[in-house]
Structure 1
Amino acid sequence: MKKSFTKTILFAAFLFAVALAGTSCGKKGNITPVTVPDLTTMDVVTTESGTIAYTGGLFNGSTDVSLSSYGICYSATNQTPTTADKKTTDTVILYAYTTKLTGLSPKTTYYARAYAVNSAGTGYGKVVQFTTGDGTTSTGGTVSTLAGNTAADFVDGLGGAALFNSPQGITVGADGNIYVADSFNSAIRKVTAAGDVTTLSGNGSIGYVDGPIATAQFYAPQSLVTDATGNIYVADYGNNNIRKITPAGVVSTFAGSGDAGYADGTGTKATFNSPRGLAIDGSGNIFVADMGNNLIRKITPAGVVTTFAGSRGASYLDNATATSATFNKPNGIAIDANNNIYVAETLNHAIRKITPAGVVTTFVGGNKRTGVVGNPSAIAFDKSWNLFIADQNGRILEITKDKVLKVIAGNGTSGFAEGVGTAGIFNSPQGIAVDAGNNVYVADYYNNRIRKIVLQ
């Protein structure tokens, strides 16, 4: 009886050891079941020629080492395209890939979606329907100078008699006037529709002084935005903060301590590092392209600063989680009717998109497509939600609400010339804005001018 009991104990111990060994082996191998890839299809932007389109895919989670192929499948007849239809085969950059569709027919509706194949099967993103350009090239807009001339100085006046020094940011206020961040003059200038230039605040000297607009000082302001009640917010680049100018003519510090750094918080307890672009949504929240921190920050109307997107590393990474994505010196910023945020990234040659849910994708361009939008420095929507882009390389671009990419002015060379479309020449355009009449205004940095483009 005792012998039988001993055998039973030994056998049980053996089974436990086998089970434990199996568990240990599983842990050591870190075996995770392979699942079908989960993807998001990026926006599709087409060209005027109608033969080319740009899009991409985003993995909603980590990429799988067992992936055998991935890209975009598309068709003009199959509304749920598969890998049996036309497709691209692309290279993943960590969580995402961008691609170029070629051989398309003008003025044709297509259906596209991201795909990826692994050992578990083929995963697809949602279908995106798009219509290609009609095959004609627009003549662009008529470019002229509204104010300023080539000389760099600090002079108020009418048209060419007024002088700027490296104008950077530009916005159109609710009053119809144009406001300019005159960077090297450390001043905020006001330009009427007739081209009459006056100084709203700043005296041409670098400083950091709040108070009445007549005595307030700034340090190389980069961009501005106005709210519904007429307040003007300024990205005060050199002072590392966001300033506020009230309609009553009082300047205050809305957010930022004045020291370069990174900290969320309320008002002056928050810190920024070389804030660049500004945009405001319908609820009065301000979004900041915090260039030195490679982040997109959010400021509530109460002045509470949080980090909305980015993880401080200077690189290029789309991601399904906003704070896991990365940017490289984000510059301009704009918000559409659905509260999607668009970011112009000069060094990544891209316009990035951040959804309200925090998904970061490449809207157009990128390091694989450096010539598509060039070196975008600023972006702005018109009232019909067409997106305008200032390319530092000397072009002004438009992406229509139907996602057709056009060149409306400039030809990629630096210089100065008035004219229609590509005959108009710029020298490092840095700021862009659109008025209620769909006139486009450009802060032409090295030409020290405010240019006006009347669309055809």
Structure 2
Amino acid sequence: MKSLAFAVLCVSCAVVFNSCKKETTKALKENWGENASNLASLSSGPSPNTLRITTVAGQPFHFGYADGPGSQAMFNYPLGIDLSEDGYLYVADVINDKIRKIQLSDNSVSTVSIPPAADGSTIHNPYVVRLARDGTLNIMQGPNMIWIVKTDGTVLTPDKPAANATLSPDIERDPSGNFFWIGEVDQTVNPNNTISSKAYLKKLYVNPVTNVVGSSPLTLNVNGIEQPDRSDFDILDFYPGYNGVKYVVINHTKLYALSSAGVFTRIYKDLDLHEIYSIVSSKDSRTIYLAESGQIKCIADGVHKFLAGPNPKYHDGRNGFGSEADIFAEKLALSKDENTLYFSDVNTGTIRKMQLK
């Protein structure tokens, strides 16, 4: 999409602003009552004039393993990312079997030392990484496998969930910053070959006696999931908002929300969403950012806005403003001041950022 087309889109979004906001508020209040204000009163989002995209680290289309200055570093399928309070961006480097970190003051890249587990196994294909305040690394790797790496080198490897349970491929920090959340879907095949499902968001906690991960579950009422998804679904991503709402992505294409009162319902039904792989929100919960089919989009005032995405003409990983850049965004991380949106670009094998303000 060219700059002119993007400008036309922004103008059209402004025209429909009032009517769209009114319909969104009405629909949410039917399910949420007065608590809908946190979802419906969304801001207009970032200005298209500030959507500058640059490469933080990695050599576009040069896949491998190398530490050093950002422009000389190499990754091999960088996926999950997480920002630390001391100015680092942590990266789950999947095929390299590494956790990397980028010092954002100079974009230099280094590798985090991950000791082997008690059974001698080493980290393999990590795709999610979250850093706790005390320096503990929470890593998700392989199917249903979590590693918790303490600062003293202790590695906790909790048992996998039951055979009928699947963990969401995500670990999310609670807005309090004091703990993390994981998602889980349990499915049972009934005698008549129908499937019964249960879904939860759980605190990331390892029981020292049973070695089972997950506590204080929040139950997602699966009856709130619309058919045909209710019969067979996964929680592909989720995000605990600062407004008390937990946003949940079902089957990559539908966005649901769990209110603080326990109401679980689909939101933004009128929006055409595709292949959502990451979701983050501003602290005031007024703007939601999505990595969607390689594009970066936002939902603001109920309007689904394109910010950047794969360039239809140039497939060279170029930087630029908004639609001029060529990106394929997979995982997102919003800076504390909300001025910068970092993202992993799995197509080019790089870590990049979009300037929002």
Secondary structure, in 3 states, of the residue corresponding to 1:185?
A: coil
Secondary structure, in 3 states, of the residue corresponding to 2:323?
A: helix
Aligned-pair CA distance for 1:431: 1.0
CA–CA distance in structure 1, aligned partners of residues 185 and 343 of structure 2: 21
Residue 312 (structure 2) pairs with residue 419 (structure 1):
no
* Bigger relative CO (Cα 8 Å, ≥ 6 apart): 2
Which residue number in structure 2 is paired with residue 317 of structure 1?
Answer: 226
Q: Which 5+ residue runs of structure 2 have no aligned equivalent?
A: 1-9, 188-196, 208-212
Q: Is the 8 A contact 1:344 1:350 kept in 2?
A: yes
Q: Is the 8 A contact 1:182 1:221 kept in 2?
A: yes
String of CA shifts for 1:120-158, please: whole Å, max 9, x gaps.
Answer: xxx997365656887997345111110112121122121
Q: Is the 8 A contact 2:236 2:252 kept in 1?
A: no
String of CA shifts for 1:422-444, please: whole Å, max 9, x gaps.
Answer: 112223x2211012242111011
Residue 117 (structure 2) pairs with residue 210 (structure 1):
yes
Residue 49 (structure 2) pairs with residue 49 (structure 1):
no
Residue 148 (structure 2) pairs with residue 244 (structure 1):
yes
1:126 is aligned, of 18, 33, 38, to: 33
1:355 is aligned, of 259, 265, 268, to: 259
Relative to structure 1, is the Cα distance of residues 135 and 453 closer, same or farther in structure 2, using a 3 angstrom cutoff?
A: closer
CA–CA distance in structure 2, aligned partners of residues 163 and 234 of structure 1: 21
Relative to structure 1, is the Cα distance of residues 189 and 136 closer, same or farther in structure 2, using a 3 angstrom cutoff?
A: closer
Structure of larger gyration radius = 1
Relative to structure 1, is the Cα distance of residues 249 and 405 closer, same or farther in structure 2, using a 3 angstrom cutoff?
A: farther
CA–CA distance in structure 1, aligned partners of residues 354 and 46 of structure 2: 20
2:58 is aligned, of 129, 144, 148, to: 148
Aligned-pair CA distance for 1:48: 7.0
Aligned-pair CA distance for 1:287: 1.9
Residue 338 (structure 2) pairs with residue 441 (structure 1):
no
One-letter amino acid matched to 2:180: I
Residue 184 (structure 2) pairs with residue 280 (structure 1):
no
Alignment of 1:376-415 (within 5 A): 376-385=276-285, 386-391=287-292, 393-400=293-300, 404-410=303-309, 413=312, 415=315
One-letter amino acid matched to 1:227: A
One-letter amino acid matched to 1:197: V
2:248 is aligned, of 343, 353, 362, to: 343
Q: Is the 8 A contact 1:440 1:454 kept in 2?
A: yes
CA–CA distance in structure 1, aligned partners of residues 150 and 133 of structure 2: 12
**TM-score normalized with structure 1 length:** 0.59
Q: Is the 8 A contact 2:100 2:111 kept in 1?
A: yes
Q: Is the 8 A contact 1:388 1:397 kept in 2?
A: yes
One-letter amino acid matched to 1:299: K
Which residue number in structure 1 is paired with residue 26 of structure 2?
Answer: 113
Which residue number in structure 1 is paired with residue 332 of structure 2?
Answer: 432
Percent of aligned pairs with the same residue?
A: 21
**TM-score normalized with structure 2 length:** 0.74
Q: Is the 8 A contact 2:182 2:204 kept in 1?
A: no
Aligned-pair CA distance for 1:375: 1.3
One-letter amino acid matched to 2:70: G
Q: What's the RMSD between the two structures over aligned residues? A: 4.0
String of CA shifts for 1:251-276, please: whole Å, max 9, x gaps.
Answer: 322x3x147724xxxxxxxxx63641
CA–CA distance in structure 1, aligned partners of residues 122 and 222 of structure 2: 29
- My pick for the range that moved more, 130-139 or 159-168, is 130-139
Secondary structure, in 3 states, of the residue corresponding to 2:33?
A: coil
Which residue number in structure 2 is paired with residue 196 of structure 1?
Answer: 108
Relative to structure 1, is the Cα distance of residues 47 and 361 closer, same or farther in structure 2, using a 3 angstrom cutoff?
A: farther
Which residue number in structure 1 is paired with residue 163 of structure 2?
Answer: 261
Relative to structure 1, is the Cα distance of residues 124 and 339 closer, same or farther in structure 2, using a 3 angstrom cutoff?
A: closer
Aligned length: 320
